[in-house]
Each structure stands twice: as structure tokens, then as C-alpha cells.
Amino acid sequence: MQFKAVIKWLAFGLAFLLVACSQQPAEVKLAGRTMGTGYHISYYDGGGLPAPQDVKAAIDARLVQVNNQMSHYQPDSELSRFNKSSSTQPFPVSPATAKVIGEALRIGKLSEGAYDVTIGPVVNLWSFGPEKRPERVPTDAELAQRMSEVGQDKLHVVGNTLVKDRGDINVNLSSIAKGYGVDVVGEYLESLGIANYVVEIGGEVRVHGSKPKGEAWRIAIEKPDVNGEAVQEVITPGNMAVATSGDYRNYFEENGVRYSHLIDARTGKPIQNRLVSVTVVAPTCMVADGFSTAVSVLGPEKGLELAKDQGLAVFLVVKTDSGFEERYTDNFKPYLVSRH
């Protein structure tokens, strides 16, 4: 009888094992709002993870913290308080804010000044910032005044402090902070042991792992139109981040001329090149986000040159007389599904 009981328990254990092996991890989908846009997160739960509502609460808390650090709209954020300060003494900030600004300064230097996070006063002048100015072309005198307040060479990161050489230096991190926020969420998910996820905030994405049967996550690159319903290409980023920058949505028109929200810091004017969309694949979304803007401002030729010099995986959509043309670096080729 004892032997038969053992056989029965073994049989039950084997059946349980087969059932457990046949069950696929459950997909969890979360959504919310942050940084003036929406976020969407998908991950797979094979058991042992916190409840989805608890994961979402922790994510929301972390994104609130990023806003508290780097928002230029939120009046009491670290960045807003630094911008309001006219002191040239070291201004203490969180390690996160120092890290993001340090990376922005690095990218700005590589772009030879085309990308500059101190361009905020000029962005505001062109009605794309928190000042909520009327949509109109500024006068030359107005532009000259605001340009005198710009220059990342007047901004320094010293440890966990920021130092401005002039009291009117103002920092705008809208081109890179969202990517950093994506990284914060991705790193939190990994800290829980989640190996397979996609995090998206306002179109910036970080991907890790795969779907349960080993199927790669696929990310669509939009065609540059205002509806955003058509796909230009599909990529499989692997364990990487993806950021796209373009001027085909955020702009205003005056007297039949379209003015992009992307400002060339060397001139203080909206870009006029024919580069309408830039997608960058990089190890972190912070880096992808910053470089996607820098390449966009530089334009098709100079932007692609920078990408190649830095070994970046970059995909461009350029407007030509005959339509839209794709250009990309060699490092981007492995991610293109249609080229495999």
C-alpha cells in the first residue's frame, strides 16, 4: 500500500509539472499619464511578482519623481528652481538631474552647438514652451535678446551641482528627460526580475527580452504624416531603446510658412532642412532621445555624419522632390525586419 501511494504521488507530481509547463506567463498591460503625454507598458508575469496595481503605483511614483527633478513646466521642480535662480554659485541637484544634464551637454558638444539644452528662452519665444506665447514669428530684436541668454558653454555639471556662468541661463530638458523616464521604468521592472517587457512614453521605447515563445518584440516606425496611422518600417530592437524625433506634428504656420518646434541653437530659428523623421536605437532611451533631436537639428547630411562618427544606429526619413527617402547607418541594418 505504501508503494502504491508513492506511485500515486509521483503521478500527481508529474501531472502538475506538465500542467505548469503548459501554462504561458500572463501578459500584464499598464497605462497612464506622465510628462504631458501617455505611457504604455507590457510585461510577462510568470508568477511571484507584485500585483499589477502595485507595480503601476511604484512606476507612477518614480515618474512623479522624474517630473519633480526635471520638468520645466512644474514651478517647484529642481530644474525650474535652478532656472529661476540668478546665482552663479553651485546649485545642488539630484544625481539623476546631474546625469541627464551631463549627457545633454556631451551630445550638444558632439553636435557642435546645434543641440543645446539652454535654448529654452528661444523655444519659449517661438511659442513652443511654457510661456504660452502667441504663435507668431518673433522680431529680429526679440530673437537677438533671447539668443544672448543661450549657450551651453555657460552651464557646468560639478558633481551633483549645476553652475551657470550667467544668471539668466535657462535649461530645457524636454528633448532628453522623457527618454530618461523610460529608462527609470525599465530599470525598475528589471529590479523585480521582469526580463520581458516593453516600456513606451510618448513614443520613446525601451525593450527587453521577448514574448513567451521567444518571438521578438517588434516596434513600428511611423510614416511622417500627421495622422500617424501608417508604418514606415518595422524593427526588432532586442534589448535596446528606441527614440524618434520629427517636425511633422509640432509646428505652427504663419503666412503659408511652417515653423517647426525643433530649434537650431546656432541660429535660434526653427529647422528648415528636409529631414522629417529620425529614429535612434541605443542602449538607453536617454541617449537615443538626445541624439534623435541632435541629428534632426543637424539635418540629413551633417546628422548622418555625426551618427556614423559616433557608431550610432540611426534611421532617417528625408523629404525629396519625388517623395520620402530612407537613409540609415550600417549599425541600424540588423534591426530592420524587412532587411533580414
Q: Which tens digit of pLDDT belongs to each residue from 5-40?
A: 333 333 344 443 444 444 678 999 999 999 999 999
Whether residue 131 has pLDDT greater than 70:
no
Whether residue 258 has pLDDT greater than 60:
no
Report yes or no: 299 and 275 within 8 Å, Cβ to Cβ: yes
Q: How do beta strands 155-158 and 323-328 pair? A: unpaired
Q: What is the mean pLDDT of the chain?
A: 86
pLDDT at 263: 83
Query: For residue 16, what are the contacts with CB-CB under 8 A and spacing of at least 6?
Result: none
Domains and CATH numbers, the chain: 25-72+174-213 (3.10.520.10), 82-164 (1.10.3980.10), 218-340 (3.10.520.10)
Distance of CA 274 to the CA centre of its chain: 22
Q: Binning pLDDT at 50, 70 and 90, where does residue 4 land? A: very low
Q: Binning pLDDT at 50, 70 and 90, where does residue 260 land? A: low
Q: What is the rounded distance in angstroms from the CA atom of residue 303 to the CA atom of residue 77?
A: 32
Beta strands in the chain, from DSSP E residues, in sequence order: 26-34, 37-45, 91-92, 155-158, 161-164, 197-201, 204-208, 219-222, 231-235, 241-246, 251-254, 257-260, 263-264, 269-270, 275-282, 313-320, 323-328
Q: What is the rounded distance in angstroms from the CA atom of residue 243 to the CA atom of residue 291?
A: 9
Whether residue 134 has pLDDT greater than 90:
no
72-81, 122-131, 322-331: which range is least confident on average?
A: 122-131
| Listed residue (61, 220, 309) closest to 329, CA to CA | 309
**Can you tell me the mean pLDDT for 236-245?**
96
Q: What is the rounded distance in angstroms from the CA atom of residue 210 to the CA atom of residue 240?
A: 12
Per DSSP, the three-state class of 187 is helix
Q: What is the pLDDT of residues 168-219, one digit of tens each?
A: 999 999 999 999 999 999 999 999 999 999 999 999 999 999 998 899 999 9
**Can you tell me the mean pLDDT for 231-248?**
89
* Count of CB atoms situated within 10 Å of the CB of 133: 14
Query: For residue 263, what are the contacts with CB-CB under 8 A and spacing of at least 6?
Result: 119, 122, 123, 126, 128, 269, 270, 271, 297
Counted residue by residue, the chain has a size of 340
Provide the whole-model pTM: 0.87
Per DSSP, the three-state class of 232 is strand
pLDDT at 12: 40
Q: Binning pLDDT at 50, 70 and 90, where does residue 137 land? A: confident
pLDDT at 67: 97
Q: Binning pLDDT at 50, 70 and 90, where does residue 264 land? A: confident
pLDDT at 195: 95
Whether residue 3 has pLDDT greater than 60:
no
Q: What is the pLDDT of residues 89-118, one digit of tens each?
A: 999 999 999 999 999 999 999 999 999 999
Whether residue 86 has pLDDT greater than 80:
yes
| Listed residue (226, 207, 229) closest to 216, CA to CA | 207
Q: Binning pLDDT at 50, 70 and 90, where does residue 129 land? A: low
**Can you tell me the mean pLDDT for 28-55?**
96
pLDDT at 16: 39
**Can you tell me the mean pLDDT for 276-286?**
96
pLDDT at 122: 86
